Structure 1
Amino acid sequence: MTDDQVDHNDVLAALRAATSTRHATLDRAMPLAQPEPSLQAYRDHLLLLRAWLAPLESWLARFRDGPQDPAVLPPVTRLPVLDDDLAHDAMPRGGTEVTPVDTTSLPDDPAYRWGICYVIEGSQLGGAVMYRQLAERLAPHPLRYLGSRPPGPRWQQFLAALRAHVRTEREVAAACEGARRSFDDLLARAKGPQS
């Protein structure tokens, strides 16, 4: 199944199929994908993520339904930890400014937001893997954004809520569209100039 083919029977399977090619491309394009990543690469990684995540977190905070319903999923703000890592004494200064994501054209559809949140939540799983690979190499930087909280329990909670709230063919299609857009926004920034 390709990025354009969607299985509407299981939203998680549909999201994975809808984003698999983009996910693989992004994994190779991110600053930390180089063979021996440095703190400069981590800085550039965080700057890229900040340009993507800050506008999305601000936009998502406007809603109280779908994945932003606190009764469905407790709210989490990731920017303070990211900013702490950027400000850490061990972090090299500089880096390339990255254009923030434009959220003005994003639909208010809760199913679409489930797709965006699928990418945000899933990125935390990848961060935990990177933390295990890089913690010793990039010490004394604590890499808190990658490893400050275990993502597994929240991921399982997110998946259960996703499956409970995104069930119709239209909702699954909207979630897939939101996830693809999130990956495309990240890819556009990852392919830009990196210092």
Structure 2
Amino acid sequence: MSALRTATREHHDRIDRLVNLTLLQDREHYATVLQVFDAFLRAWEPAVQAALPGRREWLQARSRLRFLQHDLRVLGIAALPAIAALPAFASPAAAWGSVYVMEGSALGGQVITRSLAAAGLGPHTGAAYFHGWGEATAGLWRDARALLESELSDPVALDHACDGARGTFDSLTLLLEAALHERTSAA
């Protein structure tokens, strides 16, 4: 986990700057962030399930796409057109690196949801995606970490996972930059 965190720190920071916890209070900014995450997840989920067919049920059980789609409906925000399919992952380990990013985002969502509550947004009023699994999120993260550590015990697999994680952050960054008409410094 430490290697993944170190390998993706700058990539994670770019996403944080784009999502911008303070700007999430602005409805237009928040709507754009939700739209981008929705468009990304609609392409990402089939790609990661194809790369990890033996974990399809595990992945489906952890999907937060329905939370995003709930938020869009509740807030009256139109979904963006689907993005082109994501390129296939170079290896199962690269897909696990991508899973690390998305599972970590569920944990990070717990911080974001507290900020959104100040703007009157909760799990039933437009912040279901960031609220995610609520109090169960920490336990789900521990489960994901254990699985990642098991799957990525080989140094070569870990290198591939770091590449997959960076690629996931970069894909999201490019989508957010385009939608927000903003650029961040490269990682």
- The alignment's TM-score, normalised by the length of structure 2, stands at 0.83
Q: 3-state SS of the aligned residue for 1:113?
A: helix
| Residue 156 (structure 1) aligns with | 142
Distance 1:123 1:85, change over 3 A: same
Residue 145 in structure 1 maps to residue 129 in structure 2: yes
Structure 1: unaligned runs, 5 residues or longer: 1-11
CA distance in 2, matches of 1:173, 1:145: 30
Structure 2: unaligned runs, 5 residues or longer: 182-187
- The alignment's TM-score, normalised by the length of structure 1, stands at 0.79
Which one-letter code corresponds to 2:87 in the other structure? T
Say which one has the larger Rg.
Answer: 1
1:33-182 aligned within 5 A: 33-35=21-23, 37-62=25-50, 63-65=52-54, 68=55, 70=57, 75-88=61-74, 91-93=75-77, 97=80, 100=83, 102-107=85-90, 109-139=91-121, 141-150=125-134, 151-182=137-168
CA distance in 2, matches of 1:61, 1:153: 22
| Residue 18 (structure 2) aligns with | 29
**Deviant stretches of 4+, over 3 Å:** 32-36, 72-75, 92-95
Q: CA RMSD in A?
A: 2.4
Distance 1:153 1:73, change over 3 A: farther
Give the helix-richer structure, 1 or 2. 2
Q: 1:75 Cα shift?
A: 3.2
Which one-letter code corresponds to 1:104 in the other structure? P
Which deviates further from its counterpart, 73-82 or 148-157?
73-82
| Residue 3 (structure 2) aligns with | 14
| Residue 192 (structure 1) aligns with | 178
CA distance in 2, matches of 1:152, 1:106: 27
